[in-house]
Amino acid sequence: MNQLTVTPTALLFAVALVLIALIISWRQKIGLEKDLIIGVVRAVIQLTVVGYVLTYIIKVNRAGLTLLMVAIIIFNAAWNAKGRANGIPHAFLISLLAITVATSTTIVLLVLARAIAFMPSQIVPISGMIASNAMVAIGLAYRSLNSQFRDKRQGLLERLALGATLHQTAIDVVREAIRTGMSPTVDSAKTVGLVSLPGMMSGLIFAGVDPTKAIMYQIMVTFMLMAATSIGSTIAVYLAYPQFFNPDMQLRN
Amino acid sequence: MAEPIFVLDDVGVVLGGKTLLTGISFSVDPGEYVTISGPSGSGKSTLLRVLATLLTPTSGTVTFAGRLQSTYEKTAYRRRVSYCYQQPSLFGDTVRDNLTFPFHIRHEHATDAQLTAALATMQLSAEMLDKPIIELSGGEKQRVALARNLLFTPQVLLLDEVTTGLDADTKTTVHRVIEDYHRRGTTVIAVTHDEGEIAVAHRLLTIEAGRLAVTAA
Ligand SMILES: Nc1ncnc2c1ncn2[C@@H]1O[C@H](COP(=O)(O)OP(=O)(O)OP(=O)(O)O)[C@@H](O)[C@H]1O
Ligand SMILES: [Mg+2]
C-alpha cells in the first residue's frame, strides 16, 4: 500500500484553498461566503463523525448494525430529495420508498452475483453511492415535474377536459421527468474514463489497486447506478405525478 | 317534457377567498341551444368549467341527466360533456398529435381519412395534419382545438367564446359546424358576444358579477 495519511498540518494548508474561494466570493460579490463557511464546517464535522462511526461498524461487523447504517443513509437521502420537491405532497414518503427500493434491489443483486460481499466495509459505501445517486436523480425528476406542470398547464387542462385519465394526461410529462432524472447517470456513463475518473475508481487507484482491477469495480458501479437511478426516478415520478391533481381529477393550483 | 339535461341549484364558487359565482340556478333541456353573455370577469368561463367538472362548486348542486354530477366517473362525464377552452392550446408537436388524442384515450385507432375529414369540416386542408403546431395561426389553432372536441359527438358542447378573433368567413364555418351538431341532438351552451350566435340560440343567460341576471326567451 502507498503511504496514505493526510496529516493535520496538511489539512491546515488545505484551509488556504478555502480562503481562496472565500476571497473570490467576497471580491466578486457572489454572496456565497456564509454558505461556504457553513459548508466547510459541516463537511468537517459530518465526515469526522462518519469516520468514527464507520470504523466502529466495520470493527464490530454485525449485520444489524450495517443495515441500520444503510437505513440512516436512505433516510437522509430521502429527506434531501424531499427538499428538492418544492412542495409536492408526500414527497418524503415517496422519496423514501423510491430510494429504499432502488438501493435494496441493486444491493441484493450485487450481493447475489457475488460482486460485493455482505460486510460493512463494502455494503455501507456502496449503499451510500447508490442512495446519493438515486437522491440526485429523484431531485431532478421532481424539478422537472414541477416545471412541466407549470409550463404545460394549459395543454394538461385540455387533455383532462377531453376526458383523459390522469395517466393519459400526464404520460409525456412523466416520461420527460424520468428521462431528466436519469440523464446525468447516462451522460456520465458516456464520458466515464475519458473526462472523469470517478470516485470509486480514483479511490482504488489512489489506494494502490491495479487500475485494470479498479476499472472492473467502476464498470460494476456504472451499471449499478444506471439500475438504481432508473428504478428510483421511475418509482418517484409515478407516485409523485398524481399529487399534482385533486380527487376531482383537476389540476391543483 | 323531457327531463332536463342540466339542473343547477343555488350553485356558488369561492376560489382563493374570492366569490366567483353565487346563487346560480337554472336548468337546460336536452337539445337546447343556450348562450351566456355578460361583462368580462363576470364568471362566464367559471360557470362553463363547473358544468364541465373542471371546477367543483363550493356550494349548491349540479344535476346532469338525472344524477348528481359528482356521482359520475370524471373521464366518462367529460367525454359526454365536452368543453372548449376560451384560449385553447394545442399539445404535442403536430396537429395530428391533437386529433389522434381523443381516439387514443378511447383505445381506438384513427385513420388519416377520419382526421382529414375532421379538418375539412373546419375548412382546414389535409396538409395541415402533419404541420407543427407552432406554425399555426391563432384562428387555425382555435379550429383544430374545436375539431378535437368534435371527433366523437358529445352529448353537450360547452363553448367558451370559440369564435372570438376569427374573421367573418371562418366564423360562419364554425357556426355552421356547431349548428350541425345541434341539429343532430347535441345540447349547446355557448359563451358568446356574437349577435348572430345569440340570435340562433333558444335562450340567453346573462351573468353579472357572478350572478344570473336576465333570462330572455
Ligand atoms: N383560478 C382562479 N382563482 C381566482 N380567481 C379566478 C380564477 N379564475 C378566474 N378567477 C376570477 O374569476 C372571475 C371570473 O372569471 P371568468 O374567467 O369566469 O370570467 P369571464 O366572465 O369568463 O370573463 P371573460 O369575458 O373576460 O372571459 C374573474 O374576476 C377572474 O379573475
Ligand atoms: Mg371567459
- Which residue segments constitute the domains of chain B, with CATH numbers given? 6-216 (3.40.50.300)
Mean pLDDT, rounded, for B25-44: 95
pLDDT at B77: 98
Option in B76, B89, B105 nearest A155 (CB): B89
Residue B79 Cα, gap to closest chain A Cα (Å):
5
HEC assignment per residue over chain A = CCCCCCCHHHHHHHHHHHHHHHHHHHHCCCCCHHHHHHHHHHHHHHHHHHHHHHHHHHHHCCHHHHHHHHHHHHHHHHHHHHHCCCCCCCHHHHHHHHHHHHHHHHHHHHHHCCCCCCCHHHHHHHHHHHHHHHHHHHHHHHHHHHHHHHHCHHHHHHHHHCCCCHHHHHHHHHHHHHHHHHHHHHHHHHHECCCECCHHHHHHHHCCCCHHHHHHHHHHHHHHHHHHHHHHHHHHHHHHHHHHECCCCCECC
Taking Cα atoms as reference points, which of B84, B99, B95 lies closest to residue B54? B84
Handedness of CA A97, A100, A102, A104 (dihedral sign): negative
How large a percentage of chain A has pLDDT more than 90? 70
Residue B39 Cβ contacting ligand 1 at under 6 Å: no
The predicted-structure confidence for B41-89, as pLDDT tens digits, reads as follows 999 999 999 999 999 999 999 999 999 999 999 999 999 999 999 888 8
Q: Do A163 and B91 touch (CB under 8 A)?
A: no
Q: Is residue B24's pLDDT more than 70?
A: yes
Mean pLDDT, rounded, for A2-16: 79
How far apart, in whole angstroms, are the C-alpha atoms of residue A22 and residue A4?
28
Option in B16, B78, B104 nearest A161 (CB): B78
pLDDT category at A3 given cuts 50, 70, 90 is: low
Non-local CB neighbours of A252 within 8 Å, separated by 6+ positions: A243, A244, A245, A246
Distance A1 CA to ligand 1 centre (A): 73
Mean pLDDT, rounded, for A28-54: 91
In the numeric block, which cell numbers belong to residue B206? 346573462
pTM (predicted TM-score): 0.90
How far apart, in whole angstroms, are the C-alpha atoms of residue B183 and residue A235?
49
Q: Do A159 and B77 touch (CB under 8 A)?
A: no
Among A146-155, A190-199, B186-195, name the one with the lowest average pLDDT.
Answer: A190-199
pLDDT at B103: 98
Mean pLDDT, rounded, for A11-39: 88
Mean pLDDT, rounded, for B199-212: 90
How far apart, in whole angstroms, are the C-alpha atoms of residue B168 and residue B56?
36
Residue B48 Cα, gap to closest chain A Cα (Å):
11
Distance A131 CA to ligand 1 centre (A): 46
pLDDT category at B190 given cuts 50, 70, 90 is: very high
Mean pLDDT, rounded, for A32-36: 89
Residue B4 Cβ contacting ligand 1 at under 6 Å: no
Distance B50 CA to ligand 2 centre (A): 13
Closest Cα to atom 25 of ligand 1? B40
The rounded mean pLDDT for chain A is 92
Q: What angle do CA B187, B103, A144 make, to 5 degrees?
A: 105
Mean pLDDT, rounded, for A180-192: 90
Burial class (CB in 10 A: 0-12, 13-18, 19+), A231: buried
Among A185-194, A235-244, B30-39, B100-109, name the one with the lowest average pLDDT.
Answer: A185-194
Q: Is residue A2's pLDDT more than 70?
A: no
pLDDT at B214: 63
Closest Cα to atom 7 of ligand 1? B15
Q: What angle do CA B179, B182, B186 make, to 5 degrees?
A: 150
Option in B77, B91, B149 nearest A155 (CB): B91
The rounded mean pLDDT for chain B is 94
Residue B17 Cβ contacting ligand 1 at under 6 Å: no
How far apart, in whole angstroms, are the C-alpha atoms of residue B32 and residue B195?
18
From B13, B44, B163, B206, the mutation candidate for ligand 1 (largest count of ligand atoms within 8 A of CB) is B44
The predicted-structure confidence for A68-79, as pLDDT tens digits, reads as follows 999 999 999 999
In the numeric block, which cell numbers belong to residue A113? 452475483
How far apart, in whole angstroms, are the C-alpha atoms of residue B102 and residue B27?
29
In the numeric block, which cell numbers belong to residue A139? 431531485
The predicted-structure confidence for A48-57, as pLDDT tens digits, reads as follows 999 999 999 9
Residue B85 Cα, gap to closest chain A Cα (Å):
7
How far apart, in whole angstroms, are the C-alpha atoms of residue A182 and residue A223?
12
Distance B47 CA to ligand 1 centre (A): 10
Burial class (CB in 10 A: 0-12, 13-18, 19+), B29: middle
Residue A239 Cα, gap to closest chain B Cα (Å):
21
Give the number of whichever ligand sits closest to the CA of residue B19: 1
In order, the DSSP letters of B55-98 are S--SEEEEEETTEEGGGS-HHHHHHHEEEE-SS----SSBHHHH
From B15, B37, B46, the mutation candidate for ligand 1 (largest count of ligand atoms within 8 A of CB) is B46
pLDDT category at A201 given cuts 50, 70, 90 is: confident
Mean pLDDT, rounded, for B137-157: 95
- Closest residue in chain B to residue A163, using alpha carbons only: B75
pLDDT at A152: 95
**Which chain A residues are Cβ-neighbours of B79 within 8 angstroms?**
162-163
Q: Do B85 and A249 touch (CB under 8 A)?
A: no
pLDDT at A239: 98
How many C-beta neighbours within 10 Å does residue B156 have?
22
How far apart, in whole angstroms, are the C-alpha atoms of residue A101 and residue A107?
10
Residue B16 Cβ contacting ligand 1 at under 6 Å: yes
How far apart, in whole angstroms, are the C-alpha atoms of residue B116 and residue A213?
62
Residue B155 near residue B64, CB atoms below 8 Å: no
pLDDT at B216: 52
β-strands B33-37, B18-28: how paired? Answer: unpaired
Residue B19 Cβ contacting ligand 1 at under 6 Å: no
Q: What angle do CA A115, A119, A122 make, to 5 degrees?
A: 55
Residue B45 Cβ contacting ligand 1 at under 6 Å: yes
Q: Which residues of A46-60 are buried (b: 16+ CB within 10 A; e: fewer)?
A: eeeeeeeebeebeee
pLDDT at A1: 46
Q: What is the ipTM of this complex?
A: 0.94
